[in-house]
Amino acid sequence: MNFIKVEEQIEPFVALVELNRPKELNALNHELMEELRAALAMLDANASVRVIILTGNDKAFAAGADIKQMADKTAIEMVMEDRFRTWDQIRLTKKPIIAAVSGFALGGGCELAMTCDMIMASETAKFGQPEVRIGTIPGAGGTQRMTKAIGKAKSMELILSGRFLSAQEALSYGLVNHVFPLETYMMETIKLAKEIAAYSPVAVQLAKEAVNRSFETHLEEGLAFERKSFYLTFASEDQKEGMKAFVEKRTPSYKGK
């Protein structure tokens, strides 16, 4: 891996993926995105990983798609490269992904954070979709995910002006889950990851899928999907263990079965 670093077990059942193109502020070139896709697929298939943390460095989570790599492309080259197929595969990762964001999360970087399931931010984080400033628009889901996350008025303002949101603004708009000082945001992210990783991975994956369904479908279908997933947990040993442990007043031990 040239552009990312992967640690499969920073804590039991918690993996860390770090974007690692610091000089270019983690600009997302093709190669990095392909490495990221492959790493997430590998971690998704690894039973000893239950939660994935995706991060950058203090200065940048990612400053967007690699502008230098795109600048001279024709529309047809962009179509034929089908660069967003990689992004679709990231979206389909079954295990929860928590973005730990410090510094710039702009353009594709903001879209990548929003593709994750939760965003934990440091006080220095800056979010934005500044594509309009370089004559284009968001292409990796920004117009859709931003609008669903913070509503039309704010999203329209951000995307049409290209201006950046501070971490505190992003928190008040509901774009991020929490904001912590730079010194502690990663520790807090790991704490949340460990909490989720202690639960049944069967239940966690089904819950993630059901929440995501609420964005993709209407209420009737979403409720039916949730109900079936709920019933399905009763086919797992983890559900038996979880409920039995509650009745017996002890801590459950989940196996992912």
Binding residues for ligand CAA (CB under 6 A): 24-25, 27, 63-68, 104, 106-108, 111, 130-131, 134, 138-140, 142
Catalytic residue among 39, 111, 125, 128: 111
**108 versus 201: smaller Cβ distance to ligand CAA:** 108
CA nearest neighbour of 129 among 116, 121, 141 = 141
- Do 8 and 43 meet the contact criterion of CB atoms below 8 Å apart? yes
**86 versus 239: smaller Cβ distance to ligand CAA:** 86
Provide the pairing of β-strand 104-106 with 126-128. parallel
Catalytic residue among 108, 128, 141, 242: 108
Catalytic residue among 39, 60, 62, 65: 65
User: Where would I find the beta strands (DSSP E) of the chain?
Assistant: 4-11, 13-19, 49-55, 60-62, 97-101, 104-106, 118-122, 126-128, 165-166, 178-180
- Catalytic, 220? Answer no
| Shortest separation between residue 56's beta carbon and ligand CAA, angstroms | 12
Q: What is the DSSP string of 113-136?
A: HHHSSEEEEETT-EEE-GGGGGT-
Tokens of 247: 């009745």
Catalytic residue among 62, 121, 128, 131: 131
- Catalytic, 128? Answer no
**29 versus 189: smaller Cβ distance to ligand CAA:** 29
**In this structure, how many other beta carbons lie within 10 angstroms of the beta carbon of residue 246?**
10
Query: What order do you get walking across the sheet with 104-106 strand by strand?
Result: 60-62, 104-106, 126-128, 165-166
**81 versus 237: smaller Cβ distance to ligand CAA:** 81
**16 versus 146: smaller Cβ distance to ligand CAA:** 146
| Shortest separation between residue 237's beta carbon and ligand CAA, angstroms | 42
Total H helices, total E strands in the chain: 12, 10
- Catalytic, 111? Answer yes
| Shortest separation between residue 95's beta carbon and ligand CAA, angstroms | 24
| Shortest separation between residue 252's beta carbon and ligand CAA, angstroms | 42
- Catalytic, 31? Answer no
| Shortest separation between residue 19's beta carbon and ligand CAA, angstroms | 12
Report, as residue numbers or ranges, the catalytic residues: 65, 108, 111, 131
